[in-house]
Structure 1
Amino acid sequence: MTSITYRITGLMFLAITFTVFLLIFLANQQMTNLFQNYLADLYEHSAGHIMGPNMMGMQGMMGLQEQEFLSSVHDSLIWVGSAIIIVGLAASYALARSITVPLRKLNAGVREIERGNLSHKVEVDSNDEVQQLAAAFNRMVAALETNNRLRKQLLADIAHELKSPLAVIQGNLEGMIDGVIDTDKEQLTSLFEESVHLNRLINDLRDLSLAEAGQLSLERAPADINQLVSHAVGMVKHLAEGKSIEVNCVLGELPPVEVDANRMRQVIFNLLTNAVRYTDTGGRVMVETAAERHEGKNWVAISVRDTGQGIAPEDLPHIFDHFYRADKSRNRKSGGTGIGLAIVKQLVETHGGKVVVASKPSEGSCFTVVLPMAA
């Protein structure tokens, strides 16, 4: 395949050469005619009478010096034209290189990505569309590198979360088989709780993957959001009472909203569970609902505010990532599996809404879910 450098250079060179030859030809014709007319007028005035073109040819009016002058002008035009062609050839090649060299760098970058080198960046020193293309390429590579890192972290986190309950179940069963552990109700209850936790984790992962793939089916029907909130608050009452946490509701007047009631109840329950879990003993959790209008549409807002420990600024951008927890020890007593908020985000966005968070360390957090009302 012919290089685009030579193709651009050749096309520009042909255009410049054709233009130069045309200008030289026209300049030579005009120079000869004008110079001969000048000599004819000069001869007529010096002879004192009018001489028609039939009496003497124009060539006969030019002496040796005039012919040498005209020839020197023609030669100068040819040399100037040749110089322009050479400069044009060099300029064409330089212009073609300025376009193709960045493209070659991009091509080399694509090959590096193909080899799996996701840290490769393309450096282009220009301020044109090629530089914008290189910047877009670098952003794409950065996104790929981030996604690859998150994928590896996700696999490691899934393995960690599955390993713990499986290890407990396996260890207890081995102990029972060997007769080291008594097969009593307490041990069986412990194994049952671990199996429930494992099953819940697998179901959450399934729902999360389906939601991200856009394949999670929703059974939408008109639902009372305030009723869903009240039901979720009742489900976390025992957890809040165990820490002497006060849970209050301020429910506004809302019309029925087309949602999957079970999925939306899961969203509210996850937010309330997180709020209670990360609020210190004697704290307070407030749930508010209200109708809002912005962006030219009607929305239902559900806010869950707590007086807990808050979220550090460096953790806030990742709070909805899979398995992300500010507590890097991943102690189940201090938090869940780390996918509850990821599920909240995906379920809310599947309903056409959005979820945002505002938080300051030691001042608590506020998660707000916004759902669109039916038109």
Structure 2
Amino acid sequence: MNRLWVRLLAGFTLVALVAVGGVALLVNWNLRNLFEAYVHLAMRWRGVALARTLEAYYAAYGSWEGVEDLLAGETSLQQGPGMGMMGRLPRGMGPGAGPAGGAWILADADGRIVADPAKVARGTSLTASQRARAIELTVGGRRVGWLVSVVRLSGDSTLEAQFIRSVNRASLLAGFGALALAAVLALLLVRSITAPLRDLTHAAQRLAQGDLSYRVPVRGSDEVAEVARAFNAMAEALQEQTTLRRHLMADIAHELRTPLSVLRGQLEAMLDGVFPISAENIAVAHAQTLHLGHLVEDLRLLSLAEANGLDLQRVRLDLRDLLQETARAFEPVAEEKGVTLETALPQEPLIAWGDRQRLRQVLFNLVQNALQFTLAGGRVVLQGWTAASLPPGVAGRLAPHLTGGSWHVLAVSDTGKGIPPDELPHLFERFRRGTSKGGTGLGLAIAQRLVLAHGGRVEVESAVGRGTTFYILLPAAEAGEAPPSRQAASPARPIPR
């Protein structure tokens, strides 16, 4: 009885049983009342003739003494003085005069019962309902009694009782038939309800066994189908996350293997005497340890950012200062490469709540990438705007993302070789270097997560041979506003050109 389909079937069947039983009782009660009313009506027509006979009897004898024999139809009325009647009363004027299930009660003028041959009266006086349907007996304009019909439907010999029993049998058979049909329909309904649940159970077991590709068949558009769709979406997300985790582990192993192999080879060569133990060879090994340290730190930072575990030290700051600091820091590198590094800043301040160190890290990463992919003679520009002062072309591209408050926009543009369109959707994935060499491949992923932790987003547009622009959208700080809580925004995506 612990199975869901058994409980549902039992519940539906019980409801059907109560409904069918209730309808059957109501129909039987109503039919019995209507049939009794019909029998009373039939007896009343016969009772009119009997009433005239009883009135003649009372007129002849002046009382109701001996009238019970007349009602029972077992004696005859002798013609009395002044009656003008002959010998024997018609036989059957008692109970047999009406329907076979009927009987008569005679009461005096005050309603006291004086004759009850069939012993059907309850008490010694007529009830209000009996008097309401009784036939009044009068002699010389004076009421002398009441004639009341009584219907008996509980016996075995009358046609009326047989009719009621046949109706009851038909109702009982119809009730059982309806109950059986309801049970069959309930079983089909229960099967249709529990079948998707069995599919969900089977799918959950398959997922628990490691088969993340299994999906639940979706039938219809009801609530159970919605649960199946939600389960499939969960399974798909789980499969995607598992795939990403496997790729991440493979990427980490690959990224660690190269510097470890170089470091091991360098040390073994020095131990075997192939390479002399010199400052130059030790510097090569030391560089690999530094690379490993950077990789581990980047992985730690990325995992914290993705888990919303970064402890941001938010302060009110002017984003123009960050742009200027970044430009000054990279001026020597740009000069060495022969690249022009410029800033284009607005007159009005760009005040925002942010962690200065983390936002500087974002800008450093983007400028470093821009300088790396820009050839000598090229140009890298750092810009900043309020949402209201954006150039028309930029405002049109970023308008869908500048809703729900005030925004500031920072941009790092270069005239480098650009990013191929097929690489743009994967630009912020871990260890995605594209055609670049060196680095950990985590810089853009970390930059994106740091901006998301500030409640902003990163957008990018690029054209091969013309250059790339990264846009950093950050919420503006209002006067007197408290530091906002960390909130997640939707991931970055390329801006269509």
Residue of structure 2 in register with 1:343 after alignment: 446
- In the TM superposition, 1:53-64 aligns within 5 A as 55-59=148-152
Q: Which residue of 2 aligns with 1:10?
A: 10
Deviations 1:173-218 (A, max 9, x none): 2222333224445434433333322222222112222222333223
1:81 paired with 2:178, answer no
Cα deviation per residue 1:261-302 (whole Å; 9 max; x = unaligned)?
A: 222111001112223334455444332211237544222221
Matches of residues 184-263 of structure 1 in structure 2 within 5 Å?
184-241=278-335, 244-252=338-346, 253-263=348-358
CA contact (8 A) 1:233 1:269 kept: no
Question: Which of 362, 372, 375 is the equivalent residue of 1:277?
Answer: 372
Is 2:370–2:413's contact at 8 Å kept on the other side of the alignment? yes
For 2:248, the equivalent position in structure 1 comes to 154
- The answer to whether the Cα contact below 8 Å between 1:278 and 1:309 also exists between their aligned partners in 2 is yes
Which deviates the most, 228-237 or 195-204? 228-237
Alignment check: 8 A CA contact 2:433 2:441 kept: yes
Higher Cα radius of gyration: 2
Deviates more, 1:83-92 or 1:36-45: 36-45
The aligned residue for residue 366 of structure 1 is: 469
8 Å CA contact 1:307, 1:364 repeated in 2: yes
- Code of the aligned partner of 1:302: L
Residue 384 (structure 2) pairs with residue 289 (structure 1): yes
Q: Which has the higher contact order (CA 8 A, sep 6+)?
A: 1
Matched letter for residue 270 of structure 1: N
2:426 match: 318
Which moves more between the two structures, 289-298 or 342-351? 289-298
Farther off after superposition, 138-147 or 194-203:
194-203
Letter in 2 for 1:14: L
| Superposed displacement of residue 85, structure 1 | 0.7
Q: Which amino acid aligns with 2:429?
A: D
Contact 2:320 2:350 (C-alpha < 8 Å) held by counterparts: no
TM-score by length of 2: 0.67
Distance in 2 of aligned mates of 1:313 and 1:45: 103
Write the letter of the residue equivalent to 1:58. Answer: V
* Deviations 1:4-30 (CA, angstroms, capped at 9, x unpaired): 111111111111111111111121121
| Alignment partner, residue 408 of structure 2 | 300
Equivalent AA in structure 2 for residue 323 of structure 1: F
Contact preservation (8 Å) 2:44, 2:149:
no
Q: Once structures 1 and 2 are overlaid, which stretch shifts more, 164-173 or 272-281?
A: 272-281
Q: SS where residue 57 of structure 1 aligns?
A: strand
Displacement after TM superposition at 1:66 (Å) = 5.5
Distance verdict in 2 for CA 1:25–1:363, change over 3 Å: farther
Q: Structure 1 residues 307, 41: CA separation in 2 closer, same or farther (over 3 Å shift)? A: farther
Change (3 A) 1:342 1:130: same
- TM-aligned CA deviation for residue 358 of structure 1: 3.4
Moved more, 158-167 or 39-48: 39-48
Match of 1:355 in 2: 458
> Partner of 2:432: helix, strand, or coil?
coil
Distance in 2 (CA, whole Å) between partners of 1:42 and 1:311 is 103
User: RMSD in angstroms over aligned alpha carbons?
Assistant: 3.0
More off after superposition, 351-360 vs 237-246: 237-246
Distance 1:213 1:44 in 2: 93
Cα distance in 2 for partners of 1:23, 1:71 equals 17
In the aligned structure 1, how far is the partner of 2:454 from the partner of 2:201?
41
Contact kept? 1:304, 1:368, Cα under 8 Å: yes
- Number of residues of Structure 1 aligned to a counterpart in Structure 2: 370
Cα pair distance change 1:119/1:170, threshold 3 Å: same
SS of 1:41's equivalent?
helix
- Percent of residue pairs identical: 36
- Quote the Cα distance in structure 1 between the aligned partners of 2:241 and 2:365: 25
**Alignment check: 8 A CA contact 1:6 1:93 kept:** no
Alignment check: 8 A CA contact 1:232 1:265 kept: yes
Distance 1:357 1:84, change over 3 A: farther
Distance 1:64 1:159, change over 3 A: same
TM-superposed deviation, 1:236: 3.6
Q: Which has the higher helix share?
A: 1
Taking the TM superposition and a 5 Å limit, the aligned residue runs for 1:40-59 are: 40-45=40-45, 52=134, 55-59=148-152
Q: Distance in 2 between matches of 1:335 and 1:178?
A: 29
TM-score by length of 1: 0.86
2:359 to 249, 259, 264: 264
Q: 1: CA distance between counterparts of 2:48 and 2:468? A: 109
CA deviation digits over 1:45-103, x for unaligned, max 9?
Answer: 4665578496443248x997665554443333222222211111112122222222211
User: Who is 1:140 aligned against?
Assistant: 234
- Cα gap change, 1:243 to 1:296, in 2 (>3 Å): same
Q: AA paired with 1:109?
A: A
Structure 1 residues 339-348 or 230-239, which shifts more?
A: 230-239
- 8 A contact 2:40–2:149 mirrored in 1: no
Q: Summarize the Cα distance change of 1:306–1:151 in structure 2 as closer, same or farther, 3 Å threshold.
A: same
Residue range with higher mean Cα deviation, 266-275 or 298-307: 298-307
